Amino acid sequence: MDLFDIVFYCFALIAVGSAVVVVFSRNIMYAAFALLFAFFGIAGLYVLLQADFLAVTQILIYIGGILVLMLFGVMLTNRVVDVDIKTGTLQIVPAAILAAVVGGSLSGVFYSTWSTVSGTPSDVATTTPAIGEMLMTSYILPFEIASIILLVALIGAAMIARRKT
Amino acid sequence: MLTEFGRVLIFFIIGAVFVAGGLVTAWLIRPNRPYPSKLTTYECGEVPIGDTRVRFNIRFYVIALIFLIFDVEVVFLFPWALVYSQLGWFAFVEMVIFIVILFVGYAYVWRKGDLDWDRPAPKIPTFEKGVGVREDHLLEEQVVGS
Amino acid sequence: MEFFIISVIKIVIVLLIILTVVANLVYVERKVSAAIQNRIGPNRVGPWGLLQSPADVLKLFIKEDIVPSTANPFIHSLAPVISISVALVTFAVVPFGGSVELFGHQVKLMIADVNIGVLYILALTSLGVYGVTLSGWSSNNKYSLLGGLRAAAQLISYELSLGLSIIGVVMISGSLELDRIVEMQSGFQWNAFLTPIGFITFIVASFAETNRLPFDLPEAEPELVGGYHTEYSGMKFGTFFLAEYANMITASSLIVTLFLGGWQFPFLETFGLPAMMATVVQVLTFVTKVAFVLFFFIWIRWTIPRFRYDQLMNLGWKVMLPLALVNLVITGGLILAGLF
């Protein structure tokens, strides 16, 4: 067990432990706060996988964007911070189905690609220029479609938010 | 690459130790004499009224939503900017298309007023003849009375 | 093991320097503001008031820490730590000199040569929201909450222009490494001259991200008491204070690194100095440039009045964002025209 493994298990522990807190916390603010550490742990795991761009994007988008949105949502909702939220067995059947589907597909991917992955990743310099080249050559269509999806999301979000006021 | 991120981790840990050291030292040497009115929240000397966690303007939420969309755009732009000088005109045209599509959305939220911040209409105080004089008079009476 | 020791030594030195500079920056700010307003400024503690900062720090250490009984003590204590960590850790990727030969090793004068330095900075900047928001929320005070929420909305609004103006620099240098970006700016090929619009949007966004006047709405004294740190006292308040000034130093270093040539002294290589001397000159150049930008920060603070909140949001969303996008297209066109 070398340093790499120790750091890996630390980040894994942070990610999984915080995720458990997110699910079982009675205080919605603590749940949101634990999510911060869960995202952070996952970003650490990405770094260990040599996916530097992905790690930074994880922090930038998930912690700096989505979680801020969630915090605003919590603060905007009247009195929700003080109310104990039920994290019991209210929706056990849909939850079990969803968990089975996600877990099943993940392990499917895991077992189908297991043989092609060899050991720890080699120490690559950086992944970002390669990503840029791929986006501009092989994946040009998904790239432009992404912008249309963002446009739709923007207009949709603005319309829904406006209706509430 | 890992060694450099390892250095960042070490920096983070040492920095945390520095800050924690300061806070713990302060915790050890400072006095601690609380009493109930010291522990109330500050509201300009008054006893706090009502609940703190009131509902907020939905604008904050809308702004965060719009921010999230553009944040994703910025992240897409970085790999492009990195290889830009090698790819030339093609990359330029592709990116202009990308930006223009998003600009449509930007123009939409601007036009619909989602970027405007609510502001109460300014109330310009109006005066009638004689009012000012009467108030001065009242003020004098109060001073005398008190 | 050797790598580890060198890193730790570098980190401790840099941290000590930053913390010392932060403490004395408060003194400098008070003296400069006094000069601007035709006052004397601190002059009682030590000669010319030079010991004012140590005295202030000592005072903060022995002050009682008052946490409101309705506050959330855990998050209340964690919020200042988040603020200061973000401010300090950003400094890890800033190069403050070229590389030196020490005991047979080539040592780069930066803490971590992260290959995606620019994105790393942006990611950490986006974490700055949490310190203010969580402190505002956990204090259970109306002013704190208002200040925290305002700060959050302000930070995310200006983060976009910050990121977009950096993209112009990345396009010119073709690299995300700060070290490489500095090397590209040799002579007077500073990015400030190559992308002037990006330079201006970056400076304005930096002011907003550091909550400095004219963007200090989160702690606007006349309307919000102390803003998000109204309920903080003692060393926890001190930590927020430290974080604000550390942020200022980090922002100034980034402005210098990205736009003002970093540690490059124009045409230094033509003087033919020995390697060690050249490094010393480089570090001094970096420090001088940062000092100038810091002075600019202070100067602006004591010269310009504060925005109203709707003006601030309008500036961020309706002026800065389109300007930064236009800057991208202009920079892209100029690069294609072969001007850089």
Q: Give the start-to-end residue ranges of the domains of chain B.
A: 2-118
pLDDT at C313: 85
What are the φ/ψ torsions at residue B126 (nearest 5 degrees)? -110, 150
Would you tell me how many other CB atoms lie within 10 Å of the CB of residue C215?
24
Task: Please list every residue in chain B whose beta carbon sits closer than 8 Å to the beta carbon of residue A57.
Answer: 75
Pick A64's closest partner by Cβ from C120, C129, C176: C129
Q: How many CA atoms lie within 13 A of C86 on its CB side?
A: 28
Are the Cβ atoms of A60 and C120 closer than 8 angstroms? no
Whether cis (ω within 30° of 0) applies to the bond prior to A142 is: no
Residue type, B45: G
Quick one: DSSP state of residue C302? T
CA distance C136 to C147: 7
Beta bridge partners of C108: C99
H or E, element range at A105: helix A92-113
Instruction: Give A107 to chain C, closest Cα distance, Å.
Output: 31
Instruction: Give B30 to chain C, closest Cα distance, Å.
Output: 4
* CATH architecture, range B2-118: Up-down Bundle (1.20)
Tell me if residue C105 falls in helix, strand or coil. Answer: strand
Classify the phi-psi angles of C207: left when phi > 0, otherwise alpha if psi is within -120 to 50, otherwise beta: alpha
Task: Specify the residue for token string 């700016």.
Answer: C185
Tally of domains in chain C: 1
Q: Which of C119, C135, C154, C177 is the best mutation test for A, with the most CBs of A within 10 A?
A: C119
| Complex prediction ipTM | 0.82
**CA B134 → CA B142, C108, C129, C178, distances in Å?**
13, 76, 51, 69
pLDDT at B37 > cutoff 60: yes
Are the Cβ atoms of B5 and A47 closer than 8 angstroms? yes
CA distance B7 to A158: 42
Beta bridge partners of C106: C101
Task: Please list every residue in chain B whose beta carbon sits closer than 8 Å to the beta carbon of residue C230.
Answer: 42
Pick C114's closest partner by Cβ from B4, B10, B18: B4
Q: Which of C57, C121, C166, C171 is the best mutation test for B, with the most CBs of B within 10 A?
A: C171
CA distance C238 to C234: 6
Instruction: Give B132 to chain A, closest Cα distance, Å.
Output: 41
Quick one: DSSP state of residue C91? G
Beta strand extents in chain C (DSSP E only): 99-102, 105-108
- Residues B107-115, mean pLDDT to the nearest whole number: 82
What are the φ/ψ torsions at residue A84 (nearest 5 degrees)? -70, 125
Interface contacts A/C by beta carbons within 8 Å? 57
CA distance C265 to C137: 46
Pick B79's closest partner by Cβ from A77, A82, A132: A132
Task: Please list every residue in chain A whose beta carbon sits closer than 8 Å to the beta carbon of residue B79.
Answer: 53, 128-129, 131-132, 135
Are the Cβ atoms of A69 and B105 closer than 8 angstroms? no
pLDDT at A33: 84
Burial class, C16, CB count within 10 angstroms (exposed 0-12 / middle 13-18 / buried 19+): exposed
Question: Which residues of chain C have a pLDDT value below 70?
Answer: 1, 101-105, 218-222, 339-340
Cα C93 → chain centroid: 13
Cβ contact B71:A123 at 8 Å: no
CA distance C100 to C107: 5
Could you tell me which chain C residue has the CA closest to the CA of A71? C133
Nearest CA-CA partner of B74 in C249, A36, C205, A158: C205
Are the Cβ atoms of C174 and B41 closer than 8 angstroms? no
Could you tell me which chain A residue has the CA closest to the CA of B105? A151
pLDDT band at A164 (very low <50, low <70, confident <90, very high): low
State whether residue B2 sits within 8 Å of chain A by CB: yes
Chains within contact range of chain B (3+ C-beta pairs < 8 Å): A, C
pLDDT at A86: 54
Task: Specify the residue for token string 């030590």.
Answer: C46
Task: Please list every residue in chain A whose beta carbon sits closer than 8 Å to the beta carbon of residue C125.
Answer: 64
pLDDT at A117 > cutoff 70: no
Instruction: Give A18 to chain B, closest Cα distance, Å.
Output: 19
Question: Which two three-digit tokens encode residue C9?
Answer: 């030594």
* CATH architecture, range A1-83: Up-down Bundle (1.20)
pLDDT at B58 > cutoff 70: yes
Would you tell me how many other CB atoms lie within 10 Å of the CB of residue B65?
22
pLDDT at C14: 85
Are the Cβ atoms of B67 and C156 closer than 8 angstroms? yes
pLDDT at B141: 46
- Looking at every residue in chain B, the average pLDDT score rounds to 76
Can you give the residue range of the structural domain that contains C26? 2-336
Tell me if residue A150 falls in helix, strand or coil. Answer: helix
Could you tell me which chain A residue has the CA closest to the CA of C136? A75
Beta strand extents in C123-184 (DSSP E only): none
pLDDT at A16 > cutoff 90: yes
Q: Which tens digit of pLDDT belongs to each residue from B2-20?
A: 777 888 888 888 888 888 8
